[in-house]
Structure 1
Amino acid sequence: MLRLQAVNQFFGPKQILRDISMELPPGHCTYVLGRNGVGKTTLVNCIMGHLPVSSGTVTWQPAGEAELNLLQHPVERRAALGIGYVPQGRQVFSQLSVDENLRVALLAGRNKTHQVPPMVYELFPGLHKMRHQRAGDLTESGQQQLAIARALVLEPELLILDEPTGGFQPSVVEEIGLNIRRLQRDFGLTLLVVEQQLPFTPALGDRFCLLEGGCNVAQGTLDKLDDSLIQTYLAV
């Protein structure tokens, strides 16, 4: 379980996150929602260690192990603790092949193996066919699949995806949504998905955390995300 309590973060004199508290129950899919610029990516970067937390606590408890103070672990250790991350904009290594992208990621995992887990190519069979192709030559949707696969080779318990559907056409968005649901349903992952708008469909998630001005203004099960909250905090 990932748990945040009263997390604050500053960029210089400007406060970005204000007393954020939330829990990610194991095996659930939680959406962090909000308009552009409300602190969603900053929150993810604090969890992953790319940005410092000014105050508050972030704890992580892998299955069957004791709870850890995540803030005591440097960014390069967090993947090995069972936390996978798919950044906004994919950020694949364009000059490396698909296979090389995945093998580089293996070096950061808990199990120092040279084998790509079968689940990766089971989820994305097209990547197996293109495993010797340069990542920069893939389509944008192919690069997004590779970015997700690169996080999955670590065999994480928690997978964080920062705006995985951004800029894609509806058919690709639907495919990404189905893959996210499969990761939860078939592989038992806990998911934290950052999006600006509503999830693709409520059936593809369990819980939400709604941000506005760096504050957590509402959270709970997705059926509690009513029209009033949508119009106030998500409508453009």
Structure 2
Amino acid sequence: MSGKVKVSIVKVKDFNNPYDDVKEAVNLAGGFEETVRSKPYVTVKPNLVRIPKFIRSGQPVPKGCITSIQVLEAVVKLVREYTPKIGIIESDTLLGTAEEAYEKYGVLALAGKYGLELINATKDELVDCEVPNPHFYVAVKGLEWLPSPEREIYSSEYTLRLPRKYLESMRISVPSMKTQVDPYSAITFSVKNMFGVLPEVKKYLKFHEKVQWGDKKYDTGINVGRALLDLCQVA
């Protein structure tokens, strides 16, 4: 992204009902109207990391691990002022499916309340990204422990493919601000959050490499129209 980007930071007064503060933050940063007008179908990408200990149990997820349902609902309500065509997008991973995450974290109920489409990027129709020279090399540095044939799979050219609905939509990233245990990304913000739209189930093994994380082709392929960072859970 070139040029200046308008950023706003607003203190949330009531975590259980952050709508007014989220709306103020969005309006201070330019609002959603012009963003949504260009493409009336909007995909919203929350951070719905799957942790087996919590995803398959009744235990609550620790604060800050995922985008809070309160902030996600506030974003949905704001977008609905301009279009009812909204999809929530997530993909399957080695740690669980998108459907498991939607149900566990309250997104399924939210979709029923507002008529949202729930998109599984792993199962949706995929198309090649329209970016210059979309083929890039997936390095095996750090993955020497992989046996054949997976080692060969991860050391070949790869074409970036993404869900058609996502590519044809206006994209809004709604991440939770947090640190990462891997040594490559360190923190999660708007672009790192979009890692979850990659359809590969084994995406962590395949792409979490320094040589790929800063790759401009990656940024170009899954760029974000707007981003709203959930800071409500940061101590």
Alignment TM-score, normalising by the size of structure 1: 0.32
Greater strand percent: which structure? 1
Q: Which has the higher contact order (CA 8 A, sep 6+)?
A: 1
Alignment TM-score, normalising by the size of structure 2: 0.32
